[in-house]
Every structure is written in C-alpha cells, then in structure tokens.
Structure 1
C-alpha cells in the first residue's frame, strides 16, 4: 500500500501544478499516464509476465479517481484561458465616428416621426426596468462544462451618449449598420505624390491617418513603391489624381494598386480627383488612340475594385471599365453651388462653353434653383469652331444675356483660351458680370496670366490639382476644397450607404 499512497501523493502534486498554471487537458492526461506507468513499473507489472500482488487493483482505482479530478480541474482551466484570450473586433477612431453619425441619424429619424403615430412604439427606458429577481441557491447541483466559456463583452465607447429609447425601425437600422461594419473590414487610406495636401485634408475629415508608404523614384526615373504597414483583409483607398506630370502620377497609381493587391488587401478603391487622358475618349480622325479607354484597361488589369472620379470630361468614360468595376462620377458643381448661392446675383444665367457641356450647365442650374430658391435662372450656350487643338476660330452665342450675371460652367480649364474668349463674347452681348466655375484648373502655359487679364470678375476652381504660388497670387482665382465631398463619399461607400443622396 505504500506504493499506492506514494502514487496518490505524486498525482495530487501534478493536479495542483496543472490547476495553478492553467494546463490543458492533453498535458494532464499525459502526466496521469506517465505516473500510472511509473507506478506499475515499480510494482513490476510490465508487458512481460504477470504480477500476483493484490495492491495493483487499488492502484488502478486511485489512478482513475485522480485522473477524473485532474480532468475536471483542467476543463475549468481551459475555460479560463479561452475567456482571457478572446478575439474582439477592434474599434478605430473611424469606427467611433461612424457610430456617432449613425446615432445622430437615428435621433433625427425619431424626431421627424409624428408622436401620435400608432405604428411607432417607443420602448421603455432601460434605467426604469425592474431589477432581476435574485437567484436562490440550489443545493447538490453539479455544473458541468460542455463548451468553452463565452468571451467577455467588448467595453462600450465611453464618449458615446447612451441611448435609452429605440423604436423598432431604429433597432432594424442599427442592426443593419452593425452587420455592415462587422463584414466591412478596416479602412486604410494611402496617397501618392499627385496631391498630398488634398489627401491629408480628406484623412483629417475621416478621422484616420494616412497609411505609411514610400512612393519615390530611382536615379533613372523608375517608380519605387513600398507599403510599411499591414493591409491584409483591409478596405484600401488610394487618392491619386493623374494630373501633370501625368505619366509619373499614372505609373505611381498603377504600381500602388499592384502592390496592395499583392499584399492581400480585401478591396482596392482608387480616388482620382482628376482623370488624365479623359479628353481622348473617341476617334475624331483616323489612326488615333482612344486613350481614356486604354487608361481604364490599365487600371482594371491591375486589379482595381472601384473608381471614384470628379467631373469626368465625358460620362461615357464610366463604360470603359468592366461591369465588375463600378465608377462613381461625382459632380464637382455641388461645391460651386454653395459658393455662388451666397452671392447677390442679378438675373443669373448659366452658360455652357460648348454643346457637350449643356447637361453639366443644366445640372448646375437645377441645383442652384433648388437649394437657394432662385427660380428665374436662364441658360445659354456658346457654339465654338476649333481650328486645331487648343485654338478657337469663332464663337456664337445661343441665348440672351443682356443685363445678366453670367456663370460659365465647365469641367476643366487648360490654357484658358476658350474661357477668356467666351467672357469677351458675353460682355459684348451686354452681360452685367461674368463669373466662371470649373472643377479642374490645369492652367497650363499662359492660363493663369490670361485669367488675370481677362474680363472675368471671378474664376472659381477646385483643388483637385495641387495649387502653385502663381495661382495664389492671382486675385481673380478662387480655389475651393473638394475634400468634404470626397471624404463623405468614402465614408458612404465604406458604411454601405447611398452616394446619390449626396447630390439631392
């Protein structure tokens, strides 16, 4: 019996060690098996032959009892380990911001509903709910663990205001939002060297930091791209306009998309404030490329999942991408509407500088009339004849602009030759004041100087292209920021919300 008692003491020591160190069941079973074999070996009960000592059945009984005790202790330790190491969904600053915005929308939705509407059932506040009844202890109840212990709930956001009232509609919206966030993945924002200032502004509005990456050039001009953080399983947005130098910025964008796809990003969305090669969208003469379609194919072949652009030169560029690559063409005119809506306009007339921009001018007119209640807004068009690219031969006005404040709406200003000549035509036809608005201010060559010496009272552009000191010195040039529009678009796409609602 001395061997049995010694074995029991060893097994008790092993069980105590497993309980303190949270050992797993395989470790406990291995220790029990080893001690059992050691006890049997000391008693001479091996593979060969038999042992006639009567004490070995008692040793087997003690081994089984101690093994059950060790297994029960190990099960409790496994539950504790899984509870401490539970994987929780991380909350970023962007996620907290999305929660606050969703709560604001839920409050606004509740305030808009009529209080006497029988379909709205307001739940009772959580604080006024009766406390749960205390549980009475039941003796001789054995609780056995059949599954790992559940993970502890994630801590709530301390900065968010606790909501105590919720309607069924609000509960449905919140559940849909949480489901979208659960499957949305993290947000990563990267930028090339095309327009770093705009990228920083968008990141500040979204409440995130720009991703750490190196986009540089070797001595021979080759582009070098390296991402310095993990993007596996993330939703990545690249902000890169293909403005001058067009080829360098385009190559940076293509290599960044390839790099992020090779790094196992979940989805890659490119934000192109200015889409280069957009003016070559069709064959106007023999033996010329359709460069806008070729650029689209390059982006698609690199693995782009979505494209966000601002005021494409022609809407059909969206069709150059395949059906698996949706393209969101944002209207930059929504930013200009807020600027001109605050001016005291007298008999405003929206002027299109060519026949292809009539639709853009019409949308600008409708937005200005809807948002600021201006009903008597006219529309006019200039028919121009080009001798060659960048040169206008003649212009004819269609419409009446006498004693009116005219706003020329276009998508881009390159050398400003067409714009300045159109302003002269409007002034010659009796226009009171002439303004201009364009989403992309390229101002190549003498463009900035022409605007400074033109008949324009003010020329408004967006910061889709980086500004220069020469532009800042031009008193007639006003630059507005498109960062709020792009930031809201990125937010809506990431949160699975509508984009068309931004333009209503």
Structure 2
C-alpha cells in the first residue's frame, strides 16, 4: 500500500508523545513514518531535525498533547514551523488527545479560554488542518479558522460491547455527571439500552452526595466519559451504582490519562473492566483491569480519506475489529 501513496506526496511523522499509536497508524495506512529527531537542550529548549525532504509534500504530524502537555504542545508547534520552512505543501496535525480542550469557556471571573489560545497558536504556526479524536467540547472546532475533523469513538466502543452481548434492557449506560448525557445517550442508542445519570446534591466536587436519575437495580451498568484523569469520577460513580443495585459495573473513556494515583483509586472501586483508546500513552501506572482498543484504524482511514478528498461521514458509524 505504501507504493499506492508514494506518488501522492503524503508523509507521516511521529513526535514523542505517543509513538505507539503513530506506528499503528502508519502500518494500517501502509505509509512508513518519516525520519525526524527531537531532543531537548539542558535548559529544556526543544530542537527538531527533519531528516528527509518534505518539499511539496502533504505532511501529517501525529502528536497527542498529553502529559507533559506543554512540552508536547511546543514540540508540535516547532515541528509545524520546521515543515513550513522546508516548503511542505500542506501541514496537517493529527492530535489523538487534544490537551487544554477542557478550558473552552470562562467559568469564573478573569479566567482564560486556553483552548482558543491553543487553536490560535496552531493556526498561526501554519497548520492547514487538524484531525482529532473525541474533543472534550465539540465547540472547540469553532475556535479554528481552518478545517477541524473530530472523530468519535462511541461506535468503536459500541461494537466491543455488542460482541460481549451487553445490549438491551438488562444494560444501562450511565453518565457520571450531567454534562455527559449526550455521550451516554449515543452509546445507549447503539446498544438499545436505557440511560441513567448520576447527579449531585451540590456540585460534582461533592461526589459522595451523588444520586441516580434512572433505574439501575438488577442491571449491568456501563459508565461512559471522554477523559479518565484521576479516576475519582469513575470510582465514586461505581460506588453509587453498587449501592443502587447494579449487578455488574463497567467503564469506558476515550482518553485514559491515569494521572497520579488513578490506578490505586480505580483498582479499589467496584469496576470490573475499563476500556480506553490508545490516544494517550500514560506515563503513570495503569490499572490492571484496563483494556485498550486501538483508534489507529479509524485515524488511518481518516487520513487517507482527507488526502484523497473523500468525505469522512462514513467513519462516524465506524466498525473495526482492531484492538491495542
């Protein structure tokens, strides 16, 4: 397949945040990863060296802006600049996990909208297109003045649970906070299952006071969220569901950050299995009950469709048997 794209001037490059998913994307697409080196000087400055020509090529740079988010973001910006100065035809960035996307609005006085700032930086650096996976807030697409394609992982998760037989009225899809209702309803529609919501007497910082809206007693519960960070939201939701009579508890998230003591918190919870994509290569210990589903096939298909100027709409009902 590499020969098929050789005359179309497409090149993939991986930076350092998540080499694993980049290699999988390259393998699926049949396009070898380009040669690039990245290093830091003793004071932390980043130096990029592209070790092959990119003149006239359509470049796709794969980089999650996960921990350490600022290093990874700056590495991406510097690589973009290097490609532009080397006369690349287009520079497209593939960001499986888009850091700072949670800072998408002013929630309190004098707060920044950092997601918009990051968008401005990427556009100013010279990006022609952004391809990402499950943005925390879809409105972040509107922060850019260039095309942004936001792929969804719910169909990938749905296929996994359908294969396990977790479908129908015996299953309930649970949003662990009221802001995630749309995501929960999307998975529930795929599984022909009802939804439930965990709400809080005050706000979600008082998770011990959570209560369930919906029926979970005697059902198998699937908690769904986009970002699994400290693990506290999932763990507390699972405890509330256990008290509510759920028989089995599963959890799924698009991005597994597993920050700090998340592994300990989640392993102490009643969650039987946690599913995440490989969008983030966590630097922390990952819980033993975590299983990865690879998003590489989905992202590779999107890259090829973009390059061939084909619509991405077929990918929004995506089917794959690829696993990480």
Same topology, TM > 0.5: yes
Query: Which structure carries more relative contact order (alpha carbon 8 Å, separation 6+)?
Result: 2
1:424-444 Cα offsets, whole Å, 9 max, x none, are 111111111111000111111
CA distance in 2, matches of 1:422, 1:498: 38
TM-superposed deviation, 1:92: 5.0
1:231 to 50, 54, 63: 54
TM-superposed deviation, 1:263: 1.0
Residue 225 of structure 2 aligns to a residue whose secondary structure is strand
1:276-328 Cα offsets, whole Å, 9 max, x none, are 11111111111111111111111011011111111111111111111xx1111
Contact 2:178-2:199 within 8 A present in 1 as well: yes
2:248 to 396, 409, 433: 433
Residue 295 of structure 1 aligns to a residue whose secondary structure is helix
- In structure 2, the residue matched to 1:8 is none
1:3-59 Cα offsets, whole Å, 9 max, x none, are xxxxxxxxxxxxxxxxxxxxxxxxxxxxxxxxxxxxxxxxxxxxxxxxxxxxxxxxx
CA distance in 2, matches of 1:367, 1:502: 15
List structure 1 runs of 4+ shifted beyond 6 angstroms: none
> How many pairs does the alignment contain?
314
Residue 454 of structure 1 aligns to a residue whose secondary structure is coil
Length-normalised TM-score, structure 1: 0.60
- In structure 1, the residue matched to 2:196 is 380
Contact 2:48-2:78 within 8 A present in 1 as well: yes
Structure 1 282/468 Cα, relative in aligned 2: closer, same or farther at 3 Å? closer
CA distance in 2, matches of 1:286, 1:345: 44
Q: Does 1:338 pair with 2:159? A: yes
2:298 to 467, 475, 485: 485
TM-superposed deviation, 1:470: 2.9
2:184 to 353, 357, 361: 361
Q: Does 1:410 pair with 2:225? A: yes
Aligned CA-pair RMSD: 1.8
- In structure 2, the residue matched to 1:218 is 41
Pairing of 1:32-47 with structure 2 (within 5 A): none
2:281 to 458, 461, 466: 466
1:347-398 Cα offsets, whole Å, 9 max, x none, are 1111111222111112212233xxxxxx4x101111134475xx64631211
Residue 470 of structure 1 aligns to a residue whose secondary structure is coil
CA distance in 2, matches of 1:258, 1:297: 14
Pairing of 1:95-106 with structure 2 (within 5 A): 95=5
- In structure 2, the residue matched to 1:93 is 3
1:424 to 236, 239, 242: 239
